[in-house]
């Protein structure tokens, strides 16, 4: 800036013409708008297409256009009446909410121990958590399948086609890289805070629930968000576990809907796809202030 001011002082007074002002704007800002419009179009067109297909009165894939050609709720009515949509949706939300809340609790408990306490096996535990990440749960799908075909005979309540069985499997992955993320965040909370609480006579449980948890809300929110999204989009384990149509999640239901009738059911699928995205969008909306903070606190580490 200083260099430019020095220049103008020597030259005669400079009056920018409309053309040169535009050139300056284009060089500074205009290209940004151009790039962003292209990217936004790329980001938006599948979303636009799915909305248009959901409103499409004909309800087939071949008749769906990028831009809505009509507005009808026929597809929604078909989906709600001709498929077990309500059961699918309830199942999806059950798994996502139950898994997210239980994972946050279990992970936070473990992260608290790893962050604030020194005990035998702490190092092994932390490294072990990293190592087990290399073997994602779904790689053991064959073993989980065989295991639950036996377990289901003993305990029908957690066998295939039940909610509790699949939820248990999901919870087996509760302690994961998320625990590391949380531990890193817990480490940034000054020790003096919980130490002074202990001086005042708080138990370790009170320190955890009353002091720590309120201070680490951002990371709890971000882990809840990630687990919620992952669960609602989980396909592999769910497809092996839930075979009965009524027991399935919305994702599985949609998969079968377009698998059997790729063209005709597309309108119903589009409505379902929007319904499946709504909870994710809502979670994003409510947690947006934590998102960049939480994601980057994970990013800047390491």
- Name the minimum Å distance from CB 53 to another protein: 9
- Name the minimum Å distance from CB 163 to another protein: 15
Which of 62, 187, 220 lies closest to 117, judged by CA?
187
Residue with Cβ nearer another protein (72 or 137): 137
CB contact set of 113 (below 8 Å; sequence gap of 6+): 119
Residue with Cβ nearer another protein (100 or 113): 113
- Name the minimum Å distance from CB 197 to another protein: 10
DSSP structural state of residue 135: S
- Name the minimum Å distance from CB 123 to another protein: 6
- How many whole angstroms separate alpha carbon 67 and alpha carbon 56? 10
- Name the minimum Å distance from CB 13 to another protein: 26
- Name the minimum Å distance from CB 134 to another protein: 5
Provide the token pair at 214: 């309120």
Residue with Cβ nearer another protein (13 or 241): 241
Residue with Cβ nearer another protein (36 or 71): 36
Residue with Cβ nearer another protein (74 or 161): 161
- How many whole angstroms separate alpha carbon 51 and alpha carbon 65? 10
Residue with Cβ nearer another protein (72 or 138): 138
**Helix 85-116 / helix 163-172 crossing angle, nearest 10 deg:** 30
Q: Are 257 and 268 in contact (CB under 8 A)?
A: yes
Residue with Cβ nearer another protein (15 or 296): 296
- How many whole angstroms separate alpha carbon 298 and alpha carbon 177? 10
- Name the minimum Å distance from CB 20 to another protein: 20
Residue with Cβ nearer another protein (72 or 261): 261
Tell me how far CA of residue 72 lies from CA of 75, 89, 225, 254, 282, in angstroms: 7, 22, 33, 20, 24
- Name the minimum Å distance from CB 1 to another protein: 10
Which of 228, 236, 235 lies closest to 280, judged by CA?
228
Provide the token pair at 80: 């709600």
Q: Are 207 and 197 in contact (CB under 8 A)?
A: yes
């Amino acid at each position: 800036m200083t260099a430019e001011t020095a220049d103008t002082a020597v030259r005669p007074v400079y009056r920018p013409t409309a053309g040169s002002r535009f050139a300056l704007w284009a060089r500074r800002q205009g290209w940004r708008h151009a790039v962003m419009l292209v990217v936004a179009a790329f980001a938006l067109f599948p979303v636009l297409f799915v909305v248009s297909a959901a409103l499409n009165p004909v309800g087939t894939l071949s008749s769906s256009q990028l831009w809505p050609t009509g507005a009808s709720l026929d597809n929604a009515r078909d989906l709600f009446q001709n498929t077990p949509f309500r059961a699918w949706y309830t199942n999806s939300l059950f798994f996502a909410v139950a898994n997210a809340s239980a994972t946050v609790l279990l992970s936070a408990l473990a992260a608290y121990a790893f962050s604030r306490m020194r005990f035998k096996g702490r190092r092994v535990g932390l490294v072990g958590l990293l190592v087990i990440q290399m073997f994602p749960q779904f790689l053991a799908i064959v073993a989980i399948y065989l295991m639950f075909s036996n377990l289901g005979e003993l305990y029908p309540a957690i066998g295939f086609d039940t909610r509790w069985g699949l939820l248990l499997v999901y919870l087996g992955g509760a302690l994961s890289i998320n625990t590391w993320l949380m531990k890193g965040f817990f480490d940034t909370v000054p020790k003096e805070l919980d130490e002074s609480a202990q001086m005042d006579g708080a138990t370790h449980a009170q320190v955890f629930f009353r002091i720590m948890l309120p201070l680490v809300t951002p990371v709890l929110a971000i882990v809840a968000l990630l687990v919620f999204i992952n669960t609602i989009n989980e396909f592999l384990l769910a497809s092996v576990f839930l075979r009965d149509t009524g027991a399935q999640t919305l994702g599985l239901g949609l998969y079968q809907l377009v698998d059997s009738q790729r063209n005709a059911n597309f309108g119903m699928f589009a409505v379902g796809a929007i319904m499946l995205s709504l909870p994710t969008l809502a979670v994003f909306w409510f947690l947006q202030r934590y998102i960049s903070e939480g994601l980057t606190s994970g990013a800047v580490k390491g």
